[in-house]
Structure 1
Amino acid sequence: MNVLFDLGNVVLNWDPQAIISSLNLTEVKKRAIGSELLGSDYWLELDAGCSSEAEVIERLEQNSVLSARDIQQCLDATKTSLLEIGPTIELMQQIADQQIQMYCLSNMSRETYAFIKDRPLFNFFEDLVISGEVKLIKPDPDIFNYALDKFSIQAADTLFIDDSQANIDSAAQLGFCTVLFDRSDDCYQQIRALLGLHSKSC
């Protein structure tokens, strides 16, 4: 069995509301960050590799209360907020100890991946696919098939872990074993059971 991990909210913390709250902006601008950037098509364009951060900043500031500096502040805060989720790192170490191969498939911009790619956690992965680099994005089945081909693995032999129901549904239709990740103890226990790992000691 192989394990295919998502990153945001699985391996790395992803909390848009906390990011917005941390910004040194007015409440009006914070709301605009939420609706016009983090919760908008611009964000999908970044993840899909269709636009660069510079292009998004240039286009968004023309029709927004947000300045280029405001937008860049959010983009920078997003990168630094992506901290490792401790229990997941512990799980990954346990998986590695059993010589089970791990891979990564994440929706993420090129710029964000460039910021985090040298972290030690990436040593766990045999290989990875980042949406912004390949210009495909989950839940499109094409990115799953691209990953399977790149990794030379089979869906039926792979456990896919993601926090998005849409992504899980897409993977399941392709034959992956799946776990919808919610950071609960039960979820970690489910993953360990599927992989034949002993539960973590208290």
Structure 2
Amino acid sequence: MIKTIIFDFGNVFINLDIEGAKNYALEKFDVNALSDEMLAFNSFYEQGLISTDEFLEFYSENFPKLSKDELIDVWNYILKDFPKYRLEFLKELKASSKYKLILLSNTNELHINWIKQNILFYEEFKNCFDAFYLSHEINLVKPNTDIFEFVLDENDLKNNECFFIDDNQDNINTANKLKVKTWHINPATEDITNLFKTKDKLFA
């Protein structure tokens, strides 16, 4: 029996343009691919292991032609709209009191600052959750096993009573190994608001 639903944020609630953001970055940086060092710094930043100033300084040193505002624009390009009907779905789910609701997201400070400024109902959204975990605040990141174990332990959850929703296959694979039930949501064809239609047997 499912008692807890654990949600990803990007491409579950807020829409992302992952491919577009990558292409935009390559164009602005005038490179063919992101270097291993860039990917490492991105990961450090996502885990909160380096500050926003340190993150921007790294990119400023490597791409001095771009201002800090331009670098922030490149970094935030991935973030798109958050349809309000998804908030309404979440609010109804919260009001039902049937499940413990947890958010577990690989999110960094610049992204969450953009969201707070541009998604006017962010606080209302956040308040729907019983627990709200952003990778840069807990210094853990998906798809590593330790972030899932942290959430399970912190909330005294039983693996087989949890349902995890994410658009990233690697994250889903880790949850599956821990015997957590999952939905690998396809943002191109599926929507979180159809959760109980798509996975009705699990919630029966």
Any idea what SS the aligned residue of 2:42 has?
helix
One-letter code of the match for 1:3?
Answer: I
Q: Are the counterparts in 2 of residues 104 and 125 from structure 1 also a CA contact under 8 Å? A: yes
Match in the other structure for 1:95: 93
Output aligned runs, 1:139-158, within 5 Å.
139-158=143-162
Partner SS state of residue 5, structure 2: strand
Q: TM-score, normalised by structure 1?
A: 0.77
More RCO (CA 8 Å, sep 6+)? 2
After the TM superposition, which parts of structure 1 deviate over 4 Å for at least 4 consecutive aligned residues? 17-21, 30-34
Moved more, 59-68 or 99-108: 59-68
- How many Å apart are 1:115 and its aligned residue? 4.7
Secondary structure in 1 matching 2:163: strand
Paired residue for 2:138, among 119, 134, 137?
A: 134
Task: Determine the structure 2 residue equivalent to 1:16.
Answer: 18
2 CA distance for matches of 1:171 and 1:87? 27
Structure 1 residues 119 and 157: alpha-carbon distance in aligned structure 2, compared to 1, 3 A threshold = same
Shift of 1:147: 1.0
**CA drift at 1:159:** 0.5
In the alignment, residue 28 of structure 2 is paired with which amino acid?
A: K
Distance 2:47 2:32 in 1: 19
Task: Say how many residue pairs are matched.
Answer: 190
The answer on whether the counterparts of 2:16 and 2:80 sit within 8 Å (CA) in structure 1 is yes
Deviation of the 1:41 alpha carbon: 2.7
TM-score, with length taken from structure 2: 0.77
Structure 2: runs of 5+ lacking an equivalent = 117-121
Worse-matched range after superposition: 40-49 or 28-37? 28-37
Deviation at 1:194, TM superposition (A): 2.7
